Structure 1
Amino acid sequence: MDAVSELLDWFQSSGGEIDQSSVGFTVFPDCGRGAVALKDIPEGHVLFKIPRSLLLSTETSALPGRVGLDRWREAKMHMGWVGLILCMMWETAQGPSSKWSKYLESLPTTFDTPMFWNDVELEELKGTSVVGKLGKADAEQDFNEKLLPMVQSRPDLFPAETIPIYYTLEIYHVMGSRILSRSFDVEKDEPEEDTDTEGAADTSLGSAMDVDLPPEETESAHGDGDSEHADTDEEEEEPSGVSMVPLADMLNARYGSENAKLFHEKDDLRMVSTKPIGAGEQIWNTYGDLPNAELLRRYGHVDVLPLPNGDLGNPGDVVEITADLAVAVLQTDDVVTKKRIDWWLEQGGDDVVVLESDLEVPLALLSLIRLLRLTPDEWEKAVEKDKVPKPKLDTEALEVVRAVLERRLAEYPTTLDDDAKLLRAENGTTLSLNKRQALIMRIGEKRILQSTLEKIKAQQQLAAAEKQKGDDGGRKRKVRPDEEAGRMSKTRRR
């Protein structure tokens, strides 16, 4: 019996329900294992139901109770993902006696995410925001300062001979990557309406995929993962709803392709089709239509789809631009700049703005530029009013934005033409998977930067032409022959 069959047997014997006449599992080219429609599926059809008792989380694992909840919190196991990682390690160590043994055996043990790339491969990501978000150092700090001391302090739960087998740093990274790529954010109690936090550049600590309220209810917020199992703040507790959800995590996702979503009921979670699915089509879940940088970081793949301009890439690609690039262009006083940036952050601004594929200058960047350019008197008035400057795209701001984007583009060690030629020449056949995916991601970001730069330069040329036209017109009015002749005629008549 293969791994999928064993998983399905375990799932159904444990109370799960699946419509096996409609849903099957197979391996797709470039997607790996995923779900397929075995026949035409109508919208609103329940594909499978997962009892809440099958969810694997810090709420369902027996480990926190065995440790003692006070000791669990004292060791800060409730912060970040370290507690859930330890639960998954411990459940794995229990072997067949663990309720989730068959499920854990079905999960991947290797990943194509940059967390596992070597230094040479990571060089391919230079200039992108991916490397800075891996959180590898933070993860290793959590392992050494939280998880390992807990494991070593309780030999009754973690026998010494099991530590080098089940509780190593390598396995810690594997478990963290499983959470990052496959977990869901599941509400514990009765569904409540949440504010929508879904966004292309969201980096809050959360889950890989979303769970919605029942179709007749208001949808819940989408939780996106942050750097691998890292704490975001010492005061922030682990989102208790982050759970591993058997079977649901076998669905793949692709930009704009979602045709099924996970909805939660009081006693179970239900994967429901959100549109008709034809026989033979893949059943897609959603990651929130993320850019390739985030897809690569979290899941180890990139989306390559037709774009409106005829190119191939991810329609959701974005470019992150740090505030220090604007500071560098404006060359403002360090003390003054720090004071203003601190105030900007207090006002809800961010130190990173996002350039999207619509090629529009981010309003936040324009506001930040105006803030940094304020005179001392204007600065005092802004603080007094407790409001950041409104975005304004004048000729001076255009020049600053242009310089900022040129600096951002220069952070990549290769040009867009270099990357495009390499991808065309190799056609992806002789490149390693990691290099090819990094190349596709870089190309998407550089296209946005270069196209936005071209748009800005065109705006500058138009503004210059209009100004020149106005200046020329003004000079002509001063010396226009007929006006001069008229003045002379009037003089003579007098």
Structure 2
Amino acid sequence: MGKTTNKDSNLVRKGLTRVKRDELKKLVDELLQKCSYSLSSPSKDWEIYSESWNLLEKIREMEKSLDRLRISRNESLPSFVEWMTKHDVKMGPVELAELPLYGCCVKAKKHINSGELLFSIPQELMLTTETATKSSIGHFINNDPILSQMPNVALAFHVLNELYDPKSFWKPYLDALPSSYDTVMYFSPDEITELKGSPAFDDALKMCRNIARQYSYFYSLLQKSVDPTLSNLRANFTYNDYRWAVSTVMTRQNLIPSQEEIVEGDGKEKQLVPLVNALIPLWDFCNHQDGQFSTDFHPESRRTVCQAGRDFGAGEQVFIFYGTRTCAEQLIHNGFVDTNNSHDALTLKIGLSKSDPLAGQRAALLCKLHILSDEKISGPIAFQLKAGPQPVDGQLLAFLRLFCMTKDSLDRWLQSDNASNLMHEECGIETEVDDKSWSFLKARCQLLLQLYPTTKEADLKMLEEDLIPHRRMCVLLRLAEKRILLSAIECAGQRIKK
């Protein structure tokens, strides 16, 4: 088969010989078996990740002849803008522009006041889980146990199916999207190791493992299928394309109301309309900045309307607020770290010991405080240490106190009608219990700090170097988490009375 051109690259693809296809199938089967392993320890997690990475490198090399040829984003933007104009996208004084370090984003053409319209986008332009189930592969999505239960994965498959269709309604939008992302699926093993010590390390390994397993599962499923509506997916599906589609959805999706009609109940109250996952063209070209929500969906006009969250000067990049995610969640799901994140927090996992003779009473008090849903002791509980001068919230404070209580103290609080006071600093608890609580937190945070292979000072020094983006993100995350831990240690030290 001859060399493809940009014009027909989504339609004509180089195939693999039967021998190469059989070799690829063996690698994919091995990858699926590897990623289906029941994980049991951090060292095993890393072993599985490393072996899976090596398999994926071989798979990507074999699938290289299937890689799509793409035109540059700059070349695709005029068609994208024309497509939006044709379909009634209303734009304020903004334009798409290529900016250093940020790539293609939204820029102010003149001064924009807070609350001024940035753009209004009709729902008909959005790729959603509803358009997915109504598409040519809708029956496949509805009948597959993974796609039918995981709307984000279904949306990624919808994106791929449209990507492989040169006549897709959404082609101008899909052509204008980035060719790659900074999600952890694009990290090398050396870059992933920069997360060691952070709770995000385990999350990153889990994410990579899940996507590799999904790719293996769907590859095998598509190759076995004889359904003609899946022919494009069957011929073109690769790991590179799948991680791209998944990353597109992870970094850009939002929730909008379903197109289903609002039904009135017996009491004439309106039932809640379910939300569906959606990709919103143009809106998703805006980068994130800490602030407040300035986007809303207008059900009457079926449009997403975005207003300026603050004033923007002429020529300045226009940012929007994505939502309240921690820096670790931003890195894993969005591929960036916001160093000015006022909503940042560090996950702290602590639990009750089954060998503790008072574990049952402690669990009962946790249930009374609605921190546990039942009294069964089933592992550590995830709490959040907050960024800022008050790192400990009420639930964590209550847990620390009851964790350190004697039997008499536990009995007293279990019988009390004011057990919720344990969530407040001033609650009349014994000084000895309070001191033990804060001392426990201080020691735990000091231990967590020691898990990082670098110090805060070393991280600051690294930022002075010319780091590649993925490493810089990891260093920024480590610093953000260490600041939270140091703040918690300082907070605990100030509250220990003896």
Q: Report what 2:295 is aligned to.
A: 261
Deviation at 1:5, TM superposition (A): 1.5
**Which of 224, 246, 253 pairs up with 1:176?**
246
**Which of 122, 144, 149 pairs up with 1:79?**
149
Deviation at 1:277, TM superposition (A): 3.1
Deviation at 1:334, TM superposition (A): 5.9
Question: For 1:342 and 1:117, how far apart are their aligned partners in 2?
Answer: 44
Deviation at 1:87, TM superposition (A): 1.0
Q: Report what 2:83 is aligned to.
A: 10
Residues 248-287 of structure 1, C-alpha deviation per residue, up to 9 Å, x if partnerless? 100111123x685344343222222344433222211111
Deviation at 1:126, TM superposition (A): 0.9
Structure 2 counterpart SS, 1:72 = helix
Question: For 1:189 and 1:376, how far apart are their aligned partners in 2?
Answer: 56
Residues 14-37 of structure 1, C-alpha deviation per residue, up to 9 Å, x if partnerless? 332324xx1112123333321111
Question: Which one-letter code corresponds to 1:367 in the other structure?
Answer: A
Q: Report what 2:435 is aligned to.
A: 395
| Further displaced range: 58-67 or 385-394 | 385-394
Q: Compared with structure 1, are the counterparts of its residues 421 and 352 closer, same or farther at alpha carbon in structure 2 (3 Å cutoff)?
A: same
Question: For 2:229 and 2:197, how far apart are their aligned partners in 1?
Answer: 45
Contact 2:403 2:437 in 1 (8 A): no
Q: Report what 1:486 is aligned to.
A: none
Deviation at 1:421, TM superposition (A): 3.0
Q: Report what 1:281 is aligned to.
A: 316
| Further displaced range: 139-148 or 390-399 | 139-148
Q: Report what 1:428 is aligned to.
A: 465
Structure 1 counterpart SS, 2:160 = helix
Q: Report what 1:140 is aligned to.
A: 212
- What RMSD, in angstroms, separates the aligned Cα atoms of the two structures? 3.5
Superposition TM-score, scaled by structure 1 size? 0.70
Residues 28-57 of structure 1, C-alpha deviation per residue, up to 9 Å, x if partnerless? 333332111111234443332211111101
Question: For 1:442 and 1:421, how far apart are their aligned partners in 2?
Answer: 13
Contact 1:332 1:372 in 2 (8 A): no
Structure showing greater Rg? 1
Task: Confirm or deny that 1:409 pairs with 2:409.
Answer: no
**Which of 248, 270, 281 pairs up with 2:283?**
248
Question: For 2:454 and 2:411, how far apart are their aligned partners in 1?
Answer: 43
Superposition TM-score, scaled by structure 2 size? 0.69
Q: Compared with structure 1, are the counterparts of its residues 62 and 390 closer, same or farther at alpha carbon in structure 2 (3 Å cutoff)?
A: closer
**Which of 459, 466, 484 pairs up with 1:448?**
484
| Further displaced range: 433-442 or 336-345 | 336-345
Contact 2:250 2:333 in 1 (8 A): yes
Q: Report what 1:319 is aligned to.
A: 346
Contact 2:251 2:333 in 1 (8 A): yes
Deviation at 1:162, TM superposition (A): 4.9
Contact 1:64 1:72 in 2 (8 A): no
Task: Confirm or deny that 1:88 pairs with 2:128.
Answer: no
Contact 2:162 2:171 in 1 (8 A): yes
Q: Within 5 Å, give how 1:360-371 maps onto structure 2.
A: 360=390, 361-371=392-402
Q: Compared with structure 1, are the counterparts of its residues 89 and 392 closer, same or farther at alpha carbon in structure 2 (3 Å cutoff)?
A: same
Question: Which one-letter code corresponds to 1:452 in the other structure?
Answer: A
Question: Which one-letter code corresponds to 1:365 in the other structure?
Answer: L
Question: For 1:345 and 1:152, how far apart are their aligned partners in 2?
Answer: 49
Q: Compared with structure 1, are the counterparts of its residues 281 and 260 closer, same or farther at alpha carbon in structure 2 (3 Å cutoff)?
A: farther
Question: For 1:154 and 1:63, how far apart are their aligned partners in 2?
Answer: 20
Structure 2 counterpart SS, 1:288 = coil
Residue segments in structure 2 that go unaligned for 5+ positions in a row? 1-73, 263-271, 373-379, 426-433
Deviation at 1:121, TM superposition (A): 1.0
Q: Compared with structure 1, are the counterparts of its residues 295 and 162 closer, same or farther at alpha carbon in structure 2 (3 Å cutoff)?
A: closer
Question: For 1:378 and 1:64, how far apart are their aligned partners in 2?
Answer: 62
Q: Compared with structure 1, are the counterparts of its residues 255 and 420 closer, same or farther at alpha carbon in structure 2 (3 Å cutoff)?
A: same
**Which of 412, 419, 438 pairs up with 2:474?**
438
Question: Which one-letter code corresponds to 1:390 in the other structure?
Answer: L
Q: Report what 2:355 is aligned to.
A: 333
Question: For 1:116 and 1:412, how far apart are their aligned partners in 2?
Answer: 23
Q: How many residues align?
A: 394
Residue segments in structure 1 that go unaligned for 5+ positions in a row? 193-219, 222-238, 306-313, 465-494
Question: For 1:339 and 1:175, how far apart are their aligned partners in 2?
Answer: 48
Q: Compared with structure 1, are the counterparts of its residues 149 and 415 closer, same or farther at alpha carbon in structure 2 (3 Å cutoff)?
A: same
Question: Which one-letter code corresponds to 2:79 in the other structure?
Answer: E
**Which of 31, 41, 56 pairs up with 2:127?**
56
Residues 200-219 of structure 1, C-alpha deviation per residue, up to 9 Å, x if partnerless? xxxxxxxxxxxxxxxxxxxx
Contact 2:435 2:495 in 1 (8 A): no
Q: Compared with structure 1, are the counterparts of its residues 374 and 183 closer, same or farther at alpha carbon in structure 2 (3 Å cutoff)?
A: same
Q: Report what 1:419 is aligned to.
A: 459
Q: Compared with structure 1, are the counterparts of its residues 395 and 75 closer, same or farther at alpha carbon in structure 2 (3 Å cutoff)?
A: closer
Q: Compared with structure 1, are the counterparts of its residues 337 and 175 closer, same or farther at alpha carbon in structure 2 (3 Å cutoff)?
A: farther
Q: Report what 1:297 is aligned to.
A: 332
Residues 95-118 of structure 1, C-alpha deviation per residue, up to 9 Å, x if partnerless? 2x1111111111122112222212
Q: Compared with structure 1, are the counterparts of its residues 111 and 262 closer, same or farther at alpha carbon in structure 2 (3 Å cutoff)?
A: same
Structure 2 counterpart SS, 1:130 = helix
Contact 2:400 2:437 in 1 (8 A): yes
Structure 2 counterpart SS, 1:282 = coil
